């Protein structure tokens, strides 16, 4: 019996002309790379990033945007004290600024500009607005990432077919599709912060929170074989990775996805539904 093809032979076959579709060739290459990882030729992190690169080439802005309902907006007509409060509490570096309605975005305010110059006697927020970049929902992430790099821009306003604001997308959102979740100093990262009770009664839960910790804190009794985390529970129940904004009810607990990408759930809101 002839020996099976080596990984090198398979890569050579992939690079040679064959009458198969691009998607089939892409999947064939991914399977070959996965075998290479299994055999120790590349590590798991490298494989994950390579798969992320392929994924970025297939996704559009609508797939990973932050919905307009979850944006921390700034109204140009708010008093300066209120603007400062929003900037400090939200802890973002950039804010979309609107006038009149949220579909009328007039610019982007950098938090550093606001905090650095707000004490000046003649400070006017309009003087410090940066131009807003608008992109369609259908824009490919690979093209958007190149635009971010070439134009030294970090945030874009995503508009729908009618010209309304569908959401925003940042360069960090795109890069996370390749390298995974990027946590900064404002993200929750301690195990004690896996579950946070909010003022409105909701519970903010990290997707990696273990079910045992969730059960002990919330008083639930979730127990599914081979499922260890809250994200795994939701994905197993739904049969797929949900999108941001989706709500899933499991045994009287409603989970609302706050942050997610096509590969995993990062943050959810949990709330007890009335009996």
Residue 130 binned pLDDT confidence (cut-offs 50, 70, 90): very high
The pLDDT value given to residue 139:
93
Residue 152 clears pLDDT 80, i.e. is over it: yes
Contact 237, 247 (CB under 8 A): no
- Going along the chain from its start, the domains and CATH numbers come out as 8-59 (no CATH), 63-179 (3.10.580.10), 191-272 (3.30.465.10)
Residue 198 clears pLDDT 70, i.e. is over it: yes
Positive or negative, the CA dihedral 61, 62, 66, 68 is: positive
For residue range 209-243, what is the model confidence (pLDDT) as tens digits?
999 999 998 899 998 888 889 999 999 999 888 88
The span from the CA of 238 to the CA of 35, in Å, is 29
**Residue 101: enclosing H or E segment and its boundaries?**
strand 101-110
Mean pLDDT to the nearest integer, 163-180: 87
Phi, psi of 136 (to 5 degrees): -80, 160
Which of 3-17, 50-64, 135-149, 188-202 has maximum average pLDDT? 135-149
Phi-psi group of 11: left, alpha or beta (phi > 0 → left; psi -120 to 50 → alpha; rest → beta): alpha
Q: Which two tokens stand for residue 238?
A: 């739904």
Q: Which two tokens stand for residue 208?
A: 């990696």
The pLDDT value given to residue 188:
46
């Amino acid at each position: 019996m002839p020996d099976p093809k080596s990984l090198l032979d398979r890569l050579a076959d992939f690079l040679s002309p064959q009458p198969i579709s691009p998607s089939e060739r892409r999947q064939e290459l991914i399977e070959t790379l996965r075998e290479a990882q299994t055999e120790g030729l590349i590590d798991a992190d490298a494989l994950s990033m390579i798969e992320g690169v392929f994924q970025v080439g297939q996704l559009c802005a609508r797939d990973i945007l932050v919905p307009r309902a979850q944006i921390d907006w700034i109204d140009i007509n708010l008093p300066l004290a209120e603007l400062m409060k929003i900037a400090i509490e939200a802890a973002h570096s950039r804010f979309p600024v609107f006038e009149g309605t949220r579909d009328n975005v007039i610019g982007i305010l950098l938090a550093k500009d606001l905090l650095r110059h707000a004490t000046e006697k003649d400070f006017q927020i309009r003087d410090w607005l940066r131009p807003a970049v608008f992109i369609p929902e259908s824009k490919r992430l690979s093209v958007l990432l190149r635009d971010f790099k070439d134009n030294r821009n970090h945030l874009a306003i995503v508009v729908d077919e009618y010209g309304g604001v569908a959401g925003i997308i940042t360069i960090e959102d795109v890069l996370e599709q390749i390298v995974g979740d990027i946590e900064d100093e404002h993200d929750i990262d301690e195990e004690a912060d896996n579950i946070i009770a909010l003022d409105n009664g909701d519970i903010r839960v990290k997707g990696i929170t273990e079910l045992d910790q969730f059960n002990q804190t919330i008083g639930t009794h979730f127990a599914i074989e081979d499922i260890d985390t809250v994200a795994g529970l939701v994905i197993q129940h739904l049969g797929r990775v949900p999108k941001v904004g989706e709500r899933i009810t499991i045994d009287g607990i409603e989970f609302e996805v706050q942050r997610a990408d096509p590969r995993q759930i990062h943050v959810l809101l949990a709330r007890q539904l009335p009996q």
